[in-house]
Copies of this chain bind each other. A is one copy, B any other.
Amino acid sequence: MAGKSKTTIHDIASKLNITASTVSRALNNNPRISETTKKAVQKAAKQLGYQPNNIAAALRHGRSHIIGIIVPTADRTFFASVVRGVEEIANKIGYKVIICQSYDNYNTEVQTVDALLSARVDGIIASIGKNTEDFSHYKRAQEKLPLLLFDRTTDKLEVSQVVIDDFLGGYKITEHLIEQGCRRIAHFTSSKKVSIYKERLRGYTEALKDHGIPFDQALVVESNMQLEDGRTSMEALLKLDQLPDAVFSASDYGAMGAMQVLKERKIRIPQEVALAGFMNEPFTSFSDPPLTTVDQLSISMGNVAAELFFEQLKAGDKKHLPQRTVLKPEIIIRQSSLKRDYAKDDKEQQEGYISLKA
């Protein structure tokens, strides 16, 4: 930490009796510089322990080769994976990524956007905080640099975005449960009016409708969808006159809470109640039984977001319309929903289906 190397292109220049501009060009592999000089410059640079100063370069040509990414928190699996995906791409083309956490706090988010603008990042990739309702900070950002939103977005901003098709996820997994013979499918959703949950719910209802199963409001339970909420919601369902034969929770945590309660009550999964979540949290493959869920393709989401972002960055001021990329989620079928597999062994259970069908 002592001898902060102060070697600049001028040092290289004077060592070689040339000017700094030549050194700069040589280092940037400018075709106007002869191979001999380039070689000499590179050699001298190495000898002197020269380390380019990106800050000076950034100041000079107005690009920092740094982008900012804003996530609610960096340690939630989903966001961590997206960050990974973004960094992967950015790194490949010589960009660095500044990571910022909004903690779902509006003021923090606003400050963060400003801090990134001041840091002169070349662009921002963000997932909006839960409580954000005013988007003027993003609008401000958008006036100055490329902005791209992922996962949690808004239609109040004309901005490119990458999201997954929550409707499709909800639809496909509900359909899967129906195919497994379930007819009374409960759904855990969020009490918050967040679009991703609304879409999952819509997928659920639509799938029911398409398969001629009546929608029953009593089977839709609202909560915050954490583990504890999942327990509470499941207990509420158990008090109904007629038990559901499946639960599709819009969050894996909710599904795990339900699983715990069911196991405590010795209700068999999936024979009596099939279970499905949403998100493909790492723990879902370790639960007993492993949980059927919807994969969010989080790393790809980061990749795709970064690719789309850099496309726009390169396009520069050339008008490019905001682009919306919708990723198709994949359903991960695991044991918790495979009711069919047990149907043969389980006469009683099967009769249950039949009577319901009648």
Contact = CB atoms under 8 A, between A and B. Distances in A.
Contacts of A115: 96
A278 to B, nearest CB: 15
A147 B1 CA distance: 8
**Interface size class, chain A:** 35 or more
Given A283-B286, A317-B1, A74 B66 contact: no
A218 interface: no
A73 B66 contact: no
Contacts of A53: 59, 118, 120
A124 to B, nearest CB: 11
Given A75-B298, A80-B80, 19 more contacts: A1-B145, A1-B147, A2-B143, A2-B317, A51-B114, A53-B59, A55-B59, A55-B120, A74-B83, A75-B77, A75-B84, A83-B99, A87-B99, A87-B100, A91-B101, A97-B98, A98-B99, A281-B282, A282-B282
Contact of A1 (B5, B73, B143, B288): B143
Interface in A1-23: 1-5
B87 A74 contact: yes
Q: 9 tightest A-B contacts by CB?
A: A283-B283, A80-B80, A288-B288, A75-B84, A75-B80, A283-B286, A74-B84, A75-B81, A99-B99
A118 B66 CA distance: 12
Contacts of A243: none
A303 interface: no
Given A55-B55, A146-B1, A87 B101 contact: yes
B101 A96 contact: no
A256 interface: yes
18 contacts: A1-B145, A3-B144, A4-B144, A5-B143, A54-B119, A55-B58, A55-B120, A66-B98, A76-B80, A77-B77, A87-B99, A87-B100, A87-B101, A88-B101, A91-B100, A96-B119, A283-B283, A283-B286
A64 interface: yes
A121 to B, nearest CB: 9
